[in-house]
Structure 1
Amino acid sequence: MKFSHLLIAAALLAAPLSLSAQHSHKPNTAPHGHKAAGESHAHKSPHGGIVRTAGTLHIELVQHPTELHVYLLDANEATVTPARPTGSVMLLTTANKTSTVALTPTGDHLVAKLPAGTALRTAIVNLKAGGKTLSARFEKLNAAKPAQAKAVGAAYLCPMQCEGSASDKPGSCPKCGMALVKKS
């Protein structure tokens, strides 16, 4: 391994996260403290991903086989679409290789195209949106299944074809709430 790769890997593993942030999830309630940005605690995942705290906002990372989708969420876990967001994702693979990929705005979220054959272990999302710099660290991604991997054996889908709705048993769509229907 090259010396520069070792430095990048060390920086990735020791990347400082911003210090404590406080915010309230509901109006007229006391704010609760966060130990550090990227903390995970009882957040809904509106798009089926992993949600981490980033200052007064949240970042949701949804893993797909060839790309990562990044959503910016407000204190009520509703998607926020800031004007002209920019950013990148620093990746650490299961083979201890690092790389950085740009985030591209697409509708209400940002997309990072993964290099072919990438098996992710850690992703650090860095965003500039609405005059704020936000960062969140997502670890143990190799233990999580990419969102579309579920769809292969799925027998039930949302009639509205919502992303992440595929299931192997009957139920409700996590995105729109409609009853899942059996595939024909």
Structure 2
Amino acid sequence: MKKITILMTVMLIATFTTFAQHSGGNHKHGSPHGGTVKSAGDFHIEVSVKDGMVMAYLLDGKEKTIKNTGVTGTAVIQMADGKTSTISLSPSGNEGFMYTLDKTKKYNKAIVTFTSAGKTASASFDLTTKAKPAADGHNHQH
């Protein structure tokens, strides 16, 4: 049973990762909040990590932040030991969502999924590297 659970988890991560990598083509993205932006169907998703705090934003096709009213978000987090957990994202302000990582654990990836007006957007993010500062030199990860 444990092997089946692990296999299903790996397949789920692989499916979402493949979808996230191929859903929006290969092009550059702006970063309104100083994080990493990935294409996710008709949307984009931005994620930034600072001091164990993960901020996630749903962006429209022109990379403008969408208000979080009526939007729900989850993240499937993969730890360095291969275990996964699903976290509901909490609204933060008018536009963002957040969750806090356990600083005693090491993480590999997060698959962030948003649902808005019946549409779903999902993208995979590497949690082992830190986001780069924005082009203006400021760290916009608030």
Alignment counterpart, residue 126 of structure 1, candidates 113, 125, 133 = 113
List per-residue Cα deviations over 1:111-137 (Å, max 9, x = no partner): 122234232211101111132111111
Richer in strand (by share)? 2
**Distance (Å, rounded) in 1 between the aligned partners of 2:49 and 2:26:** 17
Normalised TM-score (structure 1): 0.62
Q: Do the aligned partners of residues 72 and 16 (structure 1) sit closer, same or farther apart at CA in structure 2, a change above 3 Å counting?
A: closer
Q: 2:97 aligns with which of 104, 110, 116?
A: 110
Tell me how many residue pairs correspond in the alignment.
137
Query: What is the Cα deviation at residue 50 of structure 1?
Result: 0.8
Q: Secondary structure at the match of 1:11?
A: helix
Sequence identity (%): 33
Higher relative contact order (CA 8 A, sep 6+): 2
The root-mean-square deviation of aligned C-alpha atoms, in Å, is 2.9
Aligned AA (2:58): L
The answer to whether structure 1 residue 97 and structure 2 residue 83 are counterparts is: yes
Q: CA deviation at 1:14?
A: 1.9
Structure 2, unmatched stretches of 5+, are none
Report the counterpart of residue 41 of structure 1 in structure 2. 27
The code of the aligned residue for 1:145 comes to: K
Report if aligned partners of 2:16, 2:111 keep a CA contact under 8 Å in 1. Answer: no
Deviation of 1:100 after TM superposition, in Å, equals: 1.1
User: 1:173: which partner in 2?
Assistant: 138
Counterpart CA distance in 2 for 1:44 and 1:123 is 20
- Determine the structure 2 residue equivalent to 1:88: 74
Give me the whole-angstrom Cα distance separating, in 1, the residues matched to 2:27 and 2:6. Answer: 32
Q: What residue in structure 1 maps to residue 56 of structure 2?
A: 70
User: Partner of 1:79: helix, strand, or coil?
Assistant: coil
Letter of the structure 2 residue corresponding to residue 10 of structure 1: V
Deviations 1:134-160 (A, max 9, x none): 111123x31x1267xxxxxxxxxxxxx
